[in-house]
């Protein structure tokens, strides 16, 4: 009797409410995965160091391995802690000097704010992914499982499709995609730096960002496929009950 009452409670919700809740869940899934992996890659010290070696950043910048490791750690801390400052001093040509100029520092202040938005957005997406299933299970009990499985599958497929389109765009013309991203993400032109004089560009050339993008996409796609498979399993066993 209690399961029947729960099922009736779920069915009694207006169709528009159920549709909006389902759409919110499907949208939240790729956001949670992609933003989470973006934060993961941004905090991966080994990834920074391997990319520095791949693009011979030490030769380009004049920084030795110890200084590059310090730069990587400083960036990781800076992007995680809104109160941190990007005050990096290095030794180049035997002289001690600040690594970044004022324009670079102000741009990184904007980047730090963007990362806070990423963390906040992922937190909201995570809350949606947690709360909606709990509400659905509370109202519908086991009868909600096929619906949950379907939403997980759709969200997983949508994530893979979205990543596929973004990946194709990046591979076709990553330079233009990179510029478009900056134009949308920032309200000023501080990101327009000179690779001959600005160390942000020397440290993080375009290839670094392409590799980071592909790594984020790969991790997110694998997770989405797993989640989609779990969704299919939940749907199958929920229907067979």
Residue 185: other Cβ atoms inside 10 A: 12
Give the dihedral sign, CA 59/62/64/68.
negative
In tens, the pLDDT along 119-134 reads: 999 999 999 999 999 9
CA pair distance 241, 237, nearest whole angstrom: 6
Assigned token pair, 85:
């400052």
Comparing C-alpha atoms, which of 91, 221, 120 is closest to residue 168?
Answer: 221
Note the pLDDT tens digit of each residue in 45-91.
Answer: 999 999 999 999 999 999 999 999 999 999 999 999 888 888 889 98
Q: How confident is the model at residue 104 (pLDDT cuts 50, 70, 90)?
A: very high
* 202 closest CA partner among 75, 58, 76: 58
């Amino acid at each position: 009797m209690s399961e029947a009452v729960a099922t009736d409670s779920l069915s009694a919700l207006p169709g528009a409410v159920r549709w909006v809740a389902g759409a919110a869940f499907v949208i939240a899934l790729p956001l949670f995965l992609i933003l989470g992996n973006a934060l993961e890659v941004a905090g991966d010290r080994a990834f920074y160091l391997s990319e520095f070696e791949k693009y011979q950043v030490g030769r380009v910048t004049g920084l030795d391995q110890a200084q590059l490791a310090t730069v990587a750690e400083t960036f990781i801390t800076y992007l995680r802690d809104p109160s941190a400052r990007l005050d990096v001093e290095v030794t180049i040509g035997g002289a001690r000097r600040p690594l970044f100029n004022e324009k670079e520092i102000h741009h990184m202040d904007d980047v730090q704010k963007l990362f806070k938005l990423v963390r906040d957005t992922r937190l909201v997406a995570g809350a949606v992914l947690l709360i909606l299933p709990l509400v659905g299970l509370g109202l519908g009990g086991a009868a909600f499982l096929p619906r949950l499985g379907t939403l997980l599958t759709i969200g997983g497929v949508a994530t893979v499709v979205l990543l596929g389109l973004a990946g194709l765009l990046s591979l076709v013309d990553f330079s233009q995609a990179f510029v478009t991203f900056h134009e949308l993400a920032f309200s000023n032109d501080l990101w327009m730096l000179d690779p001959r004089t600005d160390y942000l560009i020397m440290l993080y050339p375009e290839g670094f960002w392409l590799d980071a993008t592909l790594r984020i996409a790969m991790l997110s796609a694998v997770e989405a496929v797993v989640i989609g498979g779990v969704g299919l399993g939940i749907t199958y066993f929920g229907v067979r009950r």
